[in-house]
Structure 1
């Protein structure tokens, strides 16, 4: 195979600083500038190819061409995902581990997740009713931390939820960060890995009996594709990869509250209790607002695509944010319009806020269904069970240069009360 390439190349020695400064817009802006879904740059001292669009996403999730081993930088493993986590596996090991996660996503367990979410929102709203104001981005992590722990079977009676929730957010905040914000995330992950590893040890020594079928139980006793128990550390890492994404939904819930405020017609539609409207609204929140900026994989073996030779071992980044705003896939992509999902065909390479591809066998995030359940329950509660005011004296803007991002004010609400006519 000839080693040729005529794709655009970004000039310069390294563009890591530009990536940090531009955030979500780094890859989309260059795709627009070069008028292509394929360009080459240099990040962290290495040559990187960036791809996007539906065809790019389809290529990225071709397991014959790409692998995840070595693609997730150590700095991200040590803060966000954990080392030797499912995100770093390929082939049989990945498929077997993914079945473990998918086993938690049964209809019954997802319904339970929704019920727990509603319960915790009720408890929180009752407390907010006693306060002058509440900042959603500060309060929702505590709600979702309790939800995640209860759903996973993690005993929370002896846990201080507020600092635990703060640590989960610190882990997510470390992505795309340098300096103290990144170090804070690494410290939070180390602290939590140690704590949850201790729980796994307690279970394996029969000093603690988790609820059978819970995530805690399954992680503690899971056998890998070689019929070996996960070591205690890896079991703790994967348990955190059940808990952390649920708490991370905080960003999407906060953006959803912003959307309900700025697009009041949708608040009215959700108040009608129409399940389809709630689903469409949640999907548009996931598409429209920034969450994951990009994802990485490494080339398995040389291959050619669109006249470019992808070389073995090369790092490739998929433009997640840009693909979710691609005008070839979405009409008026920078307009918030849940109606676009009314007759949506459910494509696996166009809506990719948490990654794309096949849910069952590919690398698509296994927690996507849980994310939607938590979002839909939260939005239903905000519209049907809670009354609140949104003070105008706050900054509701958000920066696309910050990864991850959220409204500057954290979305302040006042005058909280629970609707008396709420039925359970």
Structure 2
């Protein structure tokens, strides 16, 4: 066996955190390999990139998720005991919960509620000075997803719960005080929702029939038991949090509209004319081109060999999502923003992976991918046809050291007007 190429230095954690989206791909390109080994958080870590590596990474016979995600991520972004940390039959049964909760008719209902909230917010936005679109989307999406999920949310609680949900994905990996904020937010949300679900099971709170909260409350594991209140709360958060996190994609789509004005006319025609191919292509290109999550983690299940390398059991592995979405072996001129590339090709399960790869029902691909696409299309319709807005002077360069990556100026909009 040949040795796996190594990233120099005693520990590369600071380098990774300084450039989390490009670290893996850059080092793999430099060493002409689909995998390198780096020391991250004082631990030898396999770093994979590219479509072939993605297909390997999602082979459940070779990799598992239990114990892979770093504790700080499990304590904030994922939650402990959630679907992201399960393998095999346990994972597939838990994943079925999310596929039921996000069935097409449920997704359509969520989109209708988000559209209602856009209409509610638009009048208020028109009365205020320039503001960050990203931040303004948070309470909008929080109200929408809680109403859809059957989670009672009083108006005076919106700011609190919205801030807590945002902290899980916007503060999880950052300076110590930000990370502590995310941990406290996770504990508060789990306590709130565990109490709600326990009260619903006891018959003291009535949940709307068929809502996501009821689906979680009634779900039974492989042994026929309902989920423990803490774990049930984790999984309900796994429906609420990703919906609010679509604010990242919507902000990136608005940024793309502004910096690529040539896309506005074909996108508008596609949304209004009923032929959604270009609109779908635009959304997919936003998801491909813009940074969302940098990587996902797994552990080697048992010793195996691939491409002449030996991988030992138990070693931590990261799959490069952003770099795979920009791999020149899959994408012509990958650094160019070109929605039309998706008019002539259907993305594969291992080359377009902003929210994970493989098949969502059985593997660890995010079940919320359909939510992201539907809400991006809906929001683009609002941004193009139902409101007028301006982008005042600001720094529009993406901050690639930020998780999630957003324009340095926050993507501020102003002079908002509702269109008839």
State if a TM-score over 0.5 links the two structures.
yes
> What is the distance in 1 between the residues matched to 2:399 and 2:131?
22
Q: Secondary structure at the match of 2:8?
A: coil
- Structure 2 residue aligned with 1:204: 201
- Structure 2 residue aligned with 1:395: 395
C-alpha contact (below 8 Å) 2:294/2:320 kept by paired residues: yes
> What is the distance in 2 between the residues matched to 1:329 and 1:78?
35
> What is the distance in 2 between the residues matched to 1:47 and 1:102?
35
Q: Deviations over 1:4-52 (max 9, x none)?
A: 4422112222111111122211111101211211111111111111111
Name which of structure 1's ranges 316-325 and 147-156 shifts more when overlaid on structure 2: 147-156
Deviation at residue 368 of structure 1 after TM alignment? 0.6
- Equivalent runs, 1:185-334 vs 2, <5 Å: 185-272=182-269, 273=272, 274-334=275-335
- Structure 2 residue aligned with 1:376: 377
- Equivalent runs, 1:118-197 vs 2, <5 Å: 118-157=115-154, 160-197=157-194
- Structure 2 residue aligned with 1:63: 60
- Structure 2 residue aligned with 1:348: 349
C-alpha contact (below 8 Å) 1:254/1:410 kept by paired residues: no
Deviation at residue 174 of structure 1 after TM alignment? 2.8
- Equivalent runs, 1:86-125 vs 2, <5 Å: 86-125=83-122
> What is the distance in 2 between the residues matched to 1:368 and 1:113?
14
Q: Secondary structure at the match of 1:406?
A: coil
Structure 2 length-normalised TM = 0.97
Deviation at residue 93 of structure 1 after TM alignment? 0.5
Residue 366 (1) aligns with residue 367 (2)? yes
Deviation at residue 325 of structure 1 after TM alignment? 0.5
Q: Secondary structure at the match of 2:19?
A: helix
Deviation at residue 159 of structure 1 after TM alignment? 5.3
> What is the distance in 2 between the residues matched to 1:283 and 1:229?
37
Q: Deviations over 1:341-400 (max 9, x none)?
A: 112223100000010011221111111111111111111111111111111x21111221
Q: Deviations over 1:287-338 (max 9, x none)?
A: 0000010111001111100111111111111011100001111111111111
- Structure 1 residue aligned with 2:73: 76
C-alpha contact (below 8 Å) 2:249/2:372 kept by paired residues: no
> What is the distance in 2 between the residues matched to 1:12 and 1:131?
50
> What is the distance in 2 between the residues matched to 1:111 and 1:145?
17
Q: Secondary structure at the match of 2:401?
A: coil
Deviation at residue 163 of structure 1 after TM alignment? 2.1
Deviation at residue 158 of structure 1 after TM alignment? 5.7
| Equivalent pairs, count | 416
Q: Secondary structure at the match of 1:62?
A: coil
> What is the distance in 2 between the residues matched to 1:98 and 1:42?
32
- Structure 1 residue aligned with 2:45: 48
Residue 35 (1) aligns with residue 32 (2)? yes
> What is the distance in 2 between the residues matched to 1:418 and 1:268?
19
Q: Secondary structure at the match of 1:160?
A: helix
Unpaired stretches in structure 2, ≥5 consecutive residues: none
Q: Deviations over 1:125-145 (max 9, x none)?
A: 111111122320110111111
Deviation at residue 208 of structure 1 after TM alignment? 0.6
> In angstroms, what is the RMSD of aligned CA positions?
1.2
- Structure 1 residue aligned with 2:414: 414
- Structure 2 residue aligned with 1:386: 387
> What is the distance in 2 between the residues matched to 1:226 and 1:5?
45
C-alpha contact (below 8 Å) 2:141/2:244 kept by paired residues: yes
Name which of structure 1's ranges 225-234 and 394-403 shifts more when overlaid on structure 2: 394-403
> What is the distance in 2 between the residues matched to 1:350 and 1:148?
30
> What is the distance in 2 between the residues matched to 1:185 and 1:26?
24
Q: Secondary structure at the match of 1:24?
A: coil
> What is the distance in 2 between the residues matched to 1:202 and 1:160?
19
